[in-house]
Amino acid sequence: MVGGDSRPQGQTPSLEEVIAKVLQQWRGFKGGPIAILIAIAAALVLAWTVWFTVQPEETGVVQRFGKVVRTAEPGLHFKLPYGIETVRTVPTARVLKEEFGFRTLAAGERTRYVEKPYDKAESLMLTGDLNVIDVQWIIQYRIDDPIRYLFHVRNTDKTIRDVTEAVMRRVVGNRLGSDVLTVGRVGVSSEAKAEIQKILTDYDTGVRLVTVELQDVTPPDTVKPAFNEVNESRQDKERTINQAQEQANKEIPKARGVATQSISKAEGYALERVNRARGEADRFQAILAEYEQAPEVTRRRLYLEAMGGFLAEQKGLYIVDAEQKALVPWLSLESGVRPVPEGGKK
């Protein structure tokens, strides 16, 4: 027996005995069980406030009495307890998005949109030709510096929205409405992105834009019918112009080809006539030179050549006498035909 304990030496105490002993010690403690519970609760609170967890897409900013002392990467970390150090997490690895002119209700296989629970005027803009259009767009951005994002600008999210809306209104206001509605969307997005990024950098927000994209650009609902009619008229005009241009592109080269062909023929004919005339002139000069040397011989030769050329085109030669009743074939020039003598005898 030890200290009044009747249990044999070496025997393990039971659970009831342990609990009874603990209760007896509590009753003997000054302040009673309430003080002990308070001490345990304080210890648990301190233990609970000395650690924190940063998620994989976040960065933790640790403040000691409001002053930034360090940043924490994703994982389990420890800090001073009981409000001495506080932690604010910023989603630095996530692409954030702001929507203008619409709000996404749920994203999935088919995106659903909220039916105008916001100020619709944020997407109505005046263009350079004094037309009103409804521009819906989104911006995507990432937080590069969480400390600047949290402390250099008050209400950074609202600042981003205000800057984006102001810049988009200026960019659209410097363009024609038809340009923004059709081929100018890429130019509007690029110009707006560059200017928004410049302003956010000057404000030292710690934000980097990823993209600025126009989702939908339409005229207001009240003027859509008239606008559609104008577009149809413009399309008819463009179609007519294209058809006329196509016909012109077909007929003009054809006419130019015919004209070039006619000019070439005329030039060829003129060259042929000139060459022929020059040849005749040269021939005449040569004959004249021969004639001056031997007039009689040249005259006889010219006569024979002329008669040879003349008779070559004739089929027969007939001598006609006023007192003769019938034609007398004097010379048959056809090949293989002999003249028939008078009286029918061969």
Q: Which residues pair with 137 in a beta bridge?
A: 100, 214
Do 190 and 111 belong together in one domain?
yes
Do 46 and 70 belong together in one domain?
yes
Per-block mean pLDDT, blocks of 10 residues, the chain (346 long): 50 67 62 65 72 92 92 90 87 93 68 55 87 92 95 93 95 90 90 96 95 89 79 88 92 91 92 90 84 81 80 69 63 53 46
Q: Which residues pair with 318 in a beta bridge?
A: 329
Asked if residue 224 belongs to a domain, the reply is no
Residues 6 or more apart whose CB falls under 8 angstroms from that of 31 comprise: none
Q: In this predicted structure, what is the pLDDT of residue 334?
A: 56
Asked if residue 2 belongs to a domain, the reply is no
Asked if residue 186 belongs to a domain, the reply is yes
Do 262 and 162 belong together in one domain?
no
Do 62 and 137 belong together in one domain?
no
Residues 6 or more apart whose CB falls under 8 angstroms from that of 316 comprise: 329, 331, 332, 333, 334
Asked if residue 3 belongs to a domain, the reply is no
Three-state SS string over the chain comes to CECCECCCCCCCCCHHHHHHHHHHHHHHCCCHHHHHHHHHHHHHHHHHCCEEEECCCCEEEEEECCEEEEEECCEEEECCCCCCEEEEEECCCCCEEEEECCCEEECCCCCEECCCCCCHHHHEEECCCCCEEEEEEEEEEEECCHHHHHHCCCCHHHHHHHHHHHHHHHHHHCCCHHHHHCCCHHHHHHHHHHHHHHHHHHCCCCEEEEEEEEEEEECCHHHHHHHHHHHHHHHHHHHHHHHHHHHHHHHHHHHHHHHHHHHHHHHHHHHHHHHHHHHHHHHHHHHHHHHHHCHHHHHHHHHHHHHHHHHCCCCEEEECCCCCCCCEEEEECCCCCCCCCCCCCC
Asked if residue 57 belongs to a domain, the reply is yes
Q: In this predicted structure, what is the pLDDT of residue 101?
A: 87
d(CA 248, CA 236) in angstroms, rounded, equals 18
Structural domains counted in the chain: 4
Do 85 and 128 belong together in one domain?
no
Domain span at 338 = 314-346
Do 208 and 273 belong together in one domain?
no
Do 304 and 336 belong together in one domain?
no
d(CA 97, CA 77) in angstroms, rounded, equals 29
Q: In this predicted structure, what is the pLDDT of residue 210?
A: 95
Q: In this predicted structure, what is the pLDDT of residue 55?
A: 93
Q: Which residues pair with 59 in a beta bridge?
A: 90
Q: In this predicted structure, what is the pLDDT of residue 245?
A: 92
d(CA 26, CA 35) in angstroms, rounded, equals 10
The structure tokens listed for 147 are 């400390």
Asked if residue 336 belongs to a domain, the reply is yes
Do 210 and 244 belong together in one domain?
no
Do 265 and 303 belong together in one domain?
yes
Asked if residue 4 belongs to a domain, the reply is no
One-letter amino acid of 46 = L
Closest CA to 342 of 316, 333, 322, 330: 330
Q: In this predicted structure, what is the pLDDT of residue 168?
A: 95
Do 200 and 308 belong together in one domain?
no
d(CA 89, CA 146) in angstroms, rounded, equals 9
Domain end among 43, 62, 90? 90
Asked if residue 235 belongs to a domain, the reply is no
Tell me the pTM: 0.56
